[in-house]
Chain A
Amino acid sequence: MVADNKTVGASPFQLSMRRLRRDKLGMASFVIVLLFTLTAVIGNFNVFGLHDAANSYNLENRYVKALSSWSHPLGTDNFGRDVLARAVMSTRISLFLGAAAGLFMLPIAILAGALSGYYGRWADSIILYVMSVIVAIPGLLIIMSLVQVLGRTFFIIALAFAITGWVGLARVVRGSFIQSREYEYVLAARCLGAGSFRIIFRHILPNLSHFIIVRFVLNFAAIIKSEVLLAFLGLSVLGVPSWGNMIDESKQELTAGHWQNLIAASLFMFTFLAALNIFGDSLRDALDPKLKNSSRKAGHK
């Protein structure tokens, strides 16, 4: 008898999404992440004149105090640009860079991890060697040199983050493949005559999707932080407002009592990163409920 249609034929992923929807904090942070995403998309167009407000110089109107006028709620900066507009517009570079770098590294990491974990032997040795070399050099150094040599464009920076960032995910994927290739359902699939390609992509990889999704979200947050650092060092995409730029500028302004840049940038960055991390945790709990229970039990002891 099939009584309850809602639970019959629900894939583990669908069950996870159902759990996620019940997680209030997770959903709240998801809404915040969505709002930021919307902001980033809007940032591509001059909605509400935000783009102009963030980028047009008005030297008559420098350092307007925060909370003093409706036209500039958070005041203006050194060049008379609206600080709130700049903080909002900065979302765009952070978010798109995080997404692009993540999408660049995903195929590299999955392929490298899958090949080395599944095949082992010389494939594993070569890939492990490459990974060790990349890890041995400080990531920021690689990024900075790539950006210096190849140019401060969006594409190059995203690529630089991908080149340094794929190793972590690839290691996790590799470990999971080493574990999974011994599972009986993999043996069963081979018994049916499935080839390696089919086993890697149809059998093992779907079982790791929860890992990969969670890593992608947390990685996203890490890239945003790195971008801020890069912009603070003056090496991020040219001519685009970024939280890192704003914090960099505030370095000199703070001593003169102009704190609006620092506060606005930090506030936006903090909100976004906190929401992203909380959402990432909720996602992990929803996708891997066993993990959550075991950590809770450990916490109560």
Chain B
Amino acid sequence: MKQPLLEVKNLQTSFRTEEGLVRAVDGVSFSLRQGEVLGLAGESGCGKSVTAYSISRLLPMPPGQFDGGEILYKGRDILGLKEEEMRRIRGREIAVVFQEPMSALNPVASVSAQIEEALAIHTSLGKAERKERVVHLLARVGIPDPAQRALCYPHELSGGMRQRVMIAMAVSCDPSLLIADEPTTALDVTIQAQILKLIQDMKNETGSAMLLITHDLAVIAETADRAAIMYAGKLVETAAVKNLFAEPAHPYTRGLLNSIPVLGSPGRKLKSIPGRVPNLIDLPGGCAFANRCELAGSRCRNEMPRMVNKDEGHQVRCHLHDGGVK
């Protein structure tokens, strides 16, 4: 089998705060092959964004710190790279699409200047060639009248347009790995589908792999090949998207799926997961989800469950699948 493009092994990222050490990412492992889309889902504060920013090494350090693990990108450990080496990777190899297209564009620079920037940093193209490529990129992300739009400033564009510009920026150097951090959360529902489709098209055109971070399982169902569910800094379930939706194994995953409305079944009450995400500073000794779990037994409160193989490619961190909860 080919070497995976990205391999995250037992990643541990934490933040030093006044209250104590927050273990935002605690032993996360996954891998991503060329051209694959991995959806990383979970509630706010579960560590999914921190995972993404760890991969691009964009966390402010301090207060952030890596406590262990490896992130292998094309076989090289990213965590050991110097800042200069990392800079050559960012934008060219690993690109990020941000959640807020409103604030992720510089208000005083024109669209063309901002897209051009990555090209200016990473390629030896001349100014005229760069301008040409910017117009080409804008056309590719579906912006009408690209030559004219390139001269616009962010305040002259709608939210959807800005997100298209962000995507153009991200794919400008044909990155091998695209990290999309809730790319559709800030957009109108009507635009969301278009942008998702665009991100997929871009991914297919450039043949890049994608790490899609979202709290919206529908987005994952729509876009991803595999899904990983995170809870309180740990992965609780990974599976092919088909399997995950057909037979969710972890009670948390089931809870998430139950909280999505289903079209055509009026009168069905939406279930919410009781309780709150535990404080990451002092996690309970056993399973972090135990106090919200209907099926939890005494073992759950005392012993941290292991990640076990349920089926081929379907892993779950739950005592239910590893000898029972009692």
Given A191-B58, A193-B91, A193-B92, A10 contacting B105 (CB threshold 8 A): no
Contact for B117 among A2, A8, A184, A192, CB less than 8 A: A192
Interface SS of chain A: helix
Distance between B107 CB and nearest chain A CB, rounded to angstroms: 6
Contact for B110 among A2, A11, A185, CB less than 8 A: A11
Distance between B69 CB and nearest chain A CB, rounded to angstroms: 22
Given A7-B156, A8-B148, A193-B118, A184 contacting B104 (CB threshold 8 A): yes
Distance between A264 CB and nearest chain B CB, rounded to angstroms: 44
Q: Is the CB of A190 within 8 A of B110?
A: no
Cα A10 to Cα B117 in complex, Å, equals 20
Q: Is the CB of A12 within 8 A of B107?
A: yes
Interface SS of chain B: loop
Q: Is the CB of B105 within 8 A of A188?
A: yes
Given A12-B153, A188-B169, A207-B108, A193 contacting B87 (CB threshold 8 A): yes
Interface residues of B in 61-109 (CB under 8 A from A): 87-92, 95-96, 98, 100, 103-109
- Does B56 make an interface contact (CB < 8 A)? yes
Q: Is the CB of A185 within 8 A of B106?
A: yes
Given A185-B103, A193-B90, A206 contacting B58 (CB threshold 8 A): no
Contact for B108 among A7, A11, A187, A193, CB less than 8 A: A11
Write out the residue numbers on chain A whose beta carbons fall within 8 Å of the beta carbon of B121: 192-194, 198
Residue of A nearest to B106 (CB): A185
Distance between A6 CB and nearest chain B CB, rounded to angstroms: 12
Write out the residue numbers on chain B whose beta carbons fall within 8 Å of the beta carbon of A206: 106, 108-109
Residue of B nearest to A5 (CB): B148
Contact with B along A1-35 (1 / 0, CB 8 A): 11000011111110000000000000000000000
Q: Is the CB of A195 within 8 A of B87?
A: yes
Cα A9 to Cα B149 in complex, Å, equals 8
Distance between A182 CB and nearest chain B CB, rounded to angstroms: 9
Write out the residue numbers on chain A whose beta carbons fall within 8 Å of the beta carbon of B153: 9-12
Write out the residue numbers on chain A whose beta carbons fall within 8 Å of the beta carbon of B122: 193
Cα A2 to Cα B152 in complex, Å, equals 11
Contact with B along A229-248 (1 / 0, CB 8 A): 00000000000000000000
Contact for B105 among A1, A2, A12, A185, CB less than 8 A: A185
Given A183-B103, A184-B103, A185-B104, A192 contacting B91 (CB threshold 8 A): yes
Distance between B256 CB and nearest chain A CB, rounded to angstroms: 27
Cα A274 to Cα B171 in complex, Å, equals 53
The listed residue with most B CB atoms (<10 A of its CB), out of A7, A183, A191, A195, is A191
Q: Is the CB of B155 within 8 A of A189?
A: no
Distance between B315 CB and nearest chain A CB, rounded to angstroms: 30
Q: Is the CB of B152 within 8 A of A9?
A: yes
- Does B21 make an interface contact (CB < 8 A)? no
Residue of B nearest to A188 (CB): B104
Distance between B8 CB and nearest chain A CB, rounded to angstroms: 18
Q: Is the CB of B151 within 8 A of A9?
A: yes
- Does A203 make an interface contact (CB < 8 A)? yes
Contact for A192 among B90, B151, B152, B155, CB less than 8 A: B90
- Does B145 make an interface contact (CB < 8 A)? yes
Q: Is the CB of A193 within 8 A of B105?
A: no
Given A190-B58, A194-B117, A8 contacting B152 (CB threshold 8 A): yes
Contact with A along B38-61 (1 / 0, CB 8 A): 000000000000000000101000
Write out the residue numbers on chain A whose beta carbons fall within 8 Å of the beta carbon of B117: 189, 192, 194, 198, 202
Residue of A nearest to B150 (CB): A9
Cα A206 to Cα B105 in complex, Å, equals 13
Residue of B nearest to A186 (CB): B106
Q: Is the CB of A8 within 8 A of B156?
A: yes
Write out the residue numbers on chain A whose beta carbons fall within 8 Å of the beta carbon of B152: 8-9
Interface residues of A in 60-116 (CB under 8 A from B): none
Cα A259 to Cα B76 in complex, Å, equals 83
Contact for A2 among B87, B107, B145, CB less than 8 A: B145
Cα A8 to Cα B169 in complex, Å, equals 21
Residue of A nearest to B57 (CB): A190
Write out the residue numbers on chain B whose beta carbons fall within 8 Å of the beta carbon of A7: 156
Distance between A157 CB and nearest chain B CB, rounded to angstroms: 35
10 contacts between A and B (CB under 8 A): A1-B144, A8-B148, A185-B105, A185-B107, A187-B58, A188-B105, A191-B56, A193-B89, A193-B118, A193-B121
Question: Beyond the given A192-B95, A192-B117, could you list 12 further A-B residue pairs with CB under 8 A, ordered by the A residue number?
Answer: A7-B156, A8-B151, A8-B156, A12-B153, A185-B104, A187-B104, A188-B169, A192-B90, A192-B121, A192-B169, A193-B87, A206-B109
- Interface of B with A (CB < 8 Å)? 56, 58, 87-92, 95-96, 98, 100, 103-110, 117-118, 121-122, 144-145, 148-149, 151-153, 155-156, 166, 169
- Interface of A with B (CB < 8 Å)? 1-2, 7-13, 183-185, 187-195, 198, 202-203, 206-207, 209
**A-B pairs, 8 with minimum CB distance:** A9-B151, A193-B91, A192-B91, A192-B118, A193-B90, A184-B103, A184-B104, A188-B104
